[in-house]
Amino acid sequence: MNLMLSRLLAYLYIGLQVALHTFIYPCHLHPQPCHILARIGHTVRLGALLPTRQPSRIQAALNRALVHLRQSGNNFLPYNLSLEVLSREPLNGDPESMFRCVCQDIVVRGVSAVLAFPQTHEELVQVEFMSSFLEIPFISIIEQGEPLRTQNRFHLQMTTHVPPSGLAQLLLAVLVKGGWQGGTAVFCPSRGETAILEQLQHQGRLGVDGAHWHLWETLNLFHQNRAVASPEEEEQEGGLEEVTELLSQLLSRSPSSLASNVLLFGSDPECVAKVLQGAVRLGLTLPLARWTMGFPLSLDALHSIGSPLGLLAYGEVNRKPLNFYIRDSLQLIGRAVFAATMVRPDLALIQNMVNCFDKPNKHEVPSSGQYLARFLSNTSFEGLTGHMQVQQSHSRILTSHRFHVWSLQRDALGQPSWVTVGSWQAGQLEVEEQGLWPTASQQVEDESPGIQPGGRWQAGLPVAGSRLRVVTLVEHPFVFTREVDDDGQCPAGQLCLDPHTNSSDVLDQMFNELEQTNSSSLPTDVRKCCYGYCIDLLEKLAEDLLFDFDLYIVGDGKYGARKGGRWTGLVGDLLSGTADMAVTSFSINTARSKVMDFTSPFFSTSLGILVRSKDTAAPIGAFMWPLHWSMWVGIFVALHLTALFLTLYEWNSPFGMTPHGRNRVRVFSYSSALNLCYAILFGRTVASKTPKCWTGRFLMNLWAIFCLLVLSSYTANLAAVMVGEKTFEEVSGIHDAKLHHPSMGFRFGTVRESSAEDYMKKSFPEMHEYMRRFNKPTTPDGIATLKTDPAQLDAFIMDKALLDYEVSIDADCKLLTIGKPFAIEGYGIGLPPNSPLTRNVSEYVSRYKSDGYMDMLHDKWYKVVPCGKRVFAVTETLQMGIQHFSGLFVLLCVGVTGALLTLLGEHAFYRFILPHLRHWQRFQYWLHTSQKIHRALNMSCDEESKLEAVGTSRSCDIHRLPPADLHTSLPPPSSSTSSSCSTSTSSTKWNNESTMVGREPKDGSHKRVHFNLETLNSYRLQAPPTGPDRSRRGLVGSPPTQLCANGGPSLGLSLVLSPPACSSGSTSLWEAELQELQGRIEEFRGKLRAALARRAELQRILEKERRGQAEGQRRSFPDTIPTSSTTSTAVAKDINRR
C-alpha cells in the first residue's frame, strides 16, 4: 500500500513539472523578487551626462524620447518597473568638473547605466576613462568626429552620423568605381573636410580590391590670401575673381593636376558655387576635368549651386533625428536589464557602486556594472535607426545610414537635373544604372574642340586617352631590339621604329602609315621590337596614366650634346618637339637639366672602368699567394718563439726531459723543440722528442691547433687564388697614373656625346683630349673593341650600370670593372622644358620605388645572367701546371744547397771554432742547445775514442749490454791502447751510436731498467779514479768512466761495465779477473757452509728442549698424542749435501 502511494505521488509531481514547463511562459519562471523591488522603489535609474555646449538641445531630445516611451507604455523593463533618467550638466568641460559631476550627482543615486553626449574628442576620452574606472556601462551618442577604437565593454559608442573614415570609404568607392587613380583637392573655408581628405589619402594608399588612388595637388582657398573668408568679404572683394585667379594659377603651375578629377570640399553652398563658376570660366569642366563634391550635401543645397554638367555629389537620405538614437539607446538598456533580471535580479537591479572613492572588491562582491555590460554586448534588435547591434571588437553600436550618389545631367528636355546613379549603405556601393555611372574612359571620349581622342598629346591637355611620342636609345639591359616576325608584329615587347633620322615630318608619316590597316609600305628593317628595363617602366606608366605611345629609336644614336649651337640626340628631339618623352638610360646632369626637364631618378648609378683580364704567367711565389707576406713572417716568428718557450718550460720543470729531471736519460733542447714545431707545422711524421712537463705539452697542443687552422686556410684559399690568377687588373681607378699620364701607350675611351664624356671633359680636360681619338659611338662598339684579339682598347669608361651588365653576360668571364665608383648620377625620364607631365610622372616613379616595382625590374634584368658575381661553373676543372708551383721547386733546390753549406759549416765549426771554445770555461755547457756540441766540449780525445769503440747508446741504457759483458771489468788502457784509440777516432767521425746498435740483445728478454746517470757528483767521475779507488776491493784496473748520450757520466759500477774498445791483452786480463771472481765465490761458499752448520746446531738444541717439555706433559696427560719425530736428521743431511 505504501509502495503504491509513493509511486502515485511521484507521478503527480512529474505531471505537475511538465504542466508548469508547458503552459507557463519561460520568462516568468523567476518569481517576483518583492524584497528587491521594494528596495529599489520599483524604479530603474539611468544617468544622463549633458554637454557643456548646447545642453538645452540635448535635454529637449532626451525629453522627447522619454515622452514617447511613456506614451507607448513599453519601456522594456520587467515587473512593470518605471524608468527614471537623472540629467546632470558639469560646470565646465575640464576632466575634474566632469568627474565631480558624475560621482557626486549621478553615481550616488545608484544608476544602472549612463548616457553621455560628448561633443569633442577630449570629452570622449574622458568618458572612456571614467567608464573604465567606475565599471558602470556608459553609452556615448556621438554627433561629430571619429569614435574611439577601443575594446572597453563598459563604454559603447553610437554615432548619429557617418564619421570621416566612413565618408572617405564612400568617396574612395566612387572614385575607384569610376576608374580614377588620382585627383586634386580644392578646399572652401570650412571645418571638418581635412579629416575626410586625410582618411581618403590613407585608404587610397592601401587600395580597394587592388585599385589605388593618389592625391596630386591641394588648393586651400582659405589659406591663399584668404580669398573667400566669408560671403560678405566675397561681395566686397570680388570673391569670384579671386577664386578664378587662384584656379588659373594652379592650372598654369600644374595643368595635368586639374585635367582629371577634382574633389571640392566645402559645406558652404555659396563658396562652392563661386569655385564652380570660376572653373566654368576657365574651361575646367568636362571633358577636361570632372568635379566631385567631397563633403556630403543635401539636394536642397545642391539645387542652389550653379554647377557644371557631370558634377558628382552625395548626401545622406532619410536621416534620423537625435531623439531616435536616444530612444534606441534606452531600449537597448531596457532589454539588457530585462534579460539580466531574469537570471540574477539582485545584481541587475541593485547597484553596488554608489561611491567613486569606495569601490567594492570585485573578487569578493560581484560588480553589477560588469554583469549588466555582458548583457548589453549581446543584445540586438530592430530599432528606429535600423538594426541595432554591438560590435564588441571596437565597442561600437552599429547604426544604419544610407547615402545616394547624384550626377548633374541633362534630362529629356535638355535641362540640368540631379540623377541618382548609386547608393551606399553598410560599406557597400550599389550602382543604380551602369550606363549612367560616370567613368574616366567616358570622360576622355567626350567630344571637345581642344582634344582629339587617340591623337597626339598636346601641352595643356590631359594625358589620359592621348598618344605620346616616346624616343629611346638602345642600351642593354635597359633597351633591347630584335627583328619583327613574318607578319611585321612583335609577339613580345613593343613595336618601335628605327627611322635613322630625326625629322619630325618623316616620323609623322611613318607612324601614320603604321596606324593604317595595310602597313606593308614600311620596310622591315625599320620596324623593330623593343623590350627591356625601360620598356617595362614605360608600359607601367602608360597603364597608370591611361595614355598610349608611339616608340622610336633616336636617329643619330646619341644621348645628346651641344654642337654648333644646337643639341643632338635625345635632347635635340625633345627640344624640337619631335618627341614628348625620352625613356632610356638617360643620365641626369647639369648641362641637360638647364635646357630640359627630368623626372625623379628611377635608377642610381655611377661611372666605372671596364678592363679585360689577361692570362699571365704565374710568378715564382704563386704558392705563397694564399697568405699575405706578413702572415708568413708571423707564422715563422711564432714557430721560433713557441720552440723557445717549450725549451724554457721543459728546463724549468722538475719533470722535464733534462739532466736534472726525474729519471730522465734524454735531453729536450732547443734543437729538439725546433724539430718538433716544424714537424707539427708541416705535418711530417718523423722521430722527435716531446716535452714531458704539463706546461710544455699544453703549449705544444696549442701550437698544433694554430697550425691546423693556418693550413686549413691556406688549402682553402689556394684554389681561389689560382682562379683569381687568371685576371690581372692594370688600372687601379680613375686616379691611376696610366690614365692621367698615358705615356706607355695605354688606350682608353668612352661613348661620344654621353654623360661620361661630359664628366671627363669637365673634370679631367687633359685626359679628355687624349682619349677623344679612342671614343666610340655606342657602348656595344666600345665593348667590342675591348674584346678583340689583340685588344684595340685597354680600358673603357662608361656608366657602371651598363658595364655591370656587360660583365655579367660575358661568355668567357674575362671582363671586369675595377676601381671605386666615381661621378655618382641617376637615370631619369627626359621631358621637354616646363612639361606638365613632369610632376605626375615623377610621383609615379617615386611610388614605384617605394612599392618595390623598381626592385622587381632590377631582379628581372640583372639577376638572370651567368657571370654577374664571377662564379665559375661547378664542372670547370682548374688545372695547375708546373708554373704554378715553380717556386716550390726553387725552394727545394735552395734547401739542398743550404744543406750542403750547413755541412761545410759543421766541419768548419768542429775544426776551427770548437778547439777555441774548449779554452773558455763559461762556454762549456751546451746541453740545453745541442747535445753534440756539449759532448764534444766536455770529453777528451781518449774518452771520445773509447766511447766510440764501446758504442755508448743515446739513452745510456745499461740493459742493452751483452750478458757476457756484465761479468767483466776493464783495467785502465795502456799507452798503446790510447794510441790505437786515436787512430780509430778519425775513422768513426763521432758516430758513437752505430756500434751500439749491433751490440744490443736480439731476444729482447732483458728487462729495461733506467737509471738516473747524472747526479750532483757526476762530473767528478769524468776524471780517472784516484789511488784509493784503484786499491778498492772489487775494482780491477780502474775502468774508465762512461759518458751517457746526454753528456753526463755514468756510475762506475764494478760489476756492470762496458767492454773496452781495444782488444790487445784482453784474454789475459779476463782470465785474471775470472780467477779472482772464482776465489771470491769459494770464499762465499765456505762462509755459507759455516752458517748452515750453525743453523742446524741451533735447531737441534731447540728440538731437545721441546722434547723434554713434551715428556713432562705426557706424564701428566697419558692420553695425549705422541709428538712427531724431529727433523734434525734431515737438516744435517741437507747441510752435508750443500
Give the neighbor-by-neighbor strand order of the sheet with 527-531.
480-483, 527-531, 494-497, 548-553, 467-472, 581-582, 830-831, 597-598
Nearest to 387 by CA among 323, 328, 326: 328
Look up residue 407 and give its three cell numbers.
Answer: 550626377
Nearest to 316 by CA among 411, 433, 403, 425: 403
Preceding peptide of 780 cis, ω within 30°: no
Tell whether the torsion through CA atoms of 994, 999, 1005 and 1009 is positive or negative: negative
Q: Cα–Cα distance between 509 and 941 in angstroms, integer?
A: 117
Distance of CA 1095 to the CA centre of its chain: 98
| DSSP codes, 719-741 | HHHHHHTT------STT-HHHHS
Show the 3-state SS of 870-922.
CCCCCCCCCCCCCCCCHHHHHHHHHHHHHHHHHHHHHHHHHHHHHHHHCCCHH
Torsion from C-alpha of 966, 971, 976, 978, nearest 10 degrees: 70
Nearest to 1038 by CA among 1060, 1016, 1018, 1009: 1060
Q: Cα–Cα distance between 341 and 333 in angstroms, integer?
A: 12
Q: Cα–Cα distance between 51 and 117 in angstroms, integer?
A: 6
Angle between helices 1066-1116 and 1128-1137 (to 10 degrees): 170
For the chain, the distance separating the N- and C-terminal CA atoms, rounded to the nearest angstrom, is 128
How many C-beta neighbours within 10 Å does residue 798 have? 25
Residue 264, SS3 per DSSP: strand
Strands 113-116 and 43-49: parallel
Kind plus residue range of the DSSP H or E element containing 701:
helix 694-724
Q: Cα–Cα distance between 265 and 274 in angstroms, integer?
A: 13
Instruction: List residues forming the annotated binding site for L-glutamate.
Output: 587, 592, 755, 799
Q: Is 315 in contact with 293 (CB distance < 8 Å)?
A: no
Radius of gyration of the chain (CA): 57
Q: Cα–Cα distance between 232 and 222 in angstroms, integer?
A: 14
Torsion from C-alpha of 563, 565, 568, 573, nearest 10 degrees: 180
Cα three-residue angle 1040-1043-1047, rounded to 5 degrees: 150
Q: Is 519 in contact with 488 (CB distance < 8 Å)?
A: yes
- For 211, left (φ over 0), alpha (ψ -120 to 50), or beta? beta
Q: Cα–Cα distance between 712 and 724 in angstroms, integer?
A: 19
Q: Cα–Cα distance between 1045 and 932 in angstroms, integer?
A: 9
Show the 3-state SS of 961-980.
CCHHHHHCCCCCCCHHHHHH
Angle between helices 853-862 and 837-851 (to 10 degrees): 70
**Any bridge partners for residue 314, and if so which?**
405
Q: Cα–Cα distance between 569 and 564 in angstroms, integer?
A: 13
Instruction: List residues forming the annotated binding site.
Output: 587, 592, 755, 799
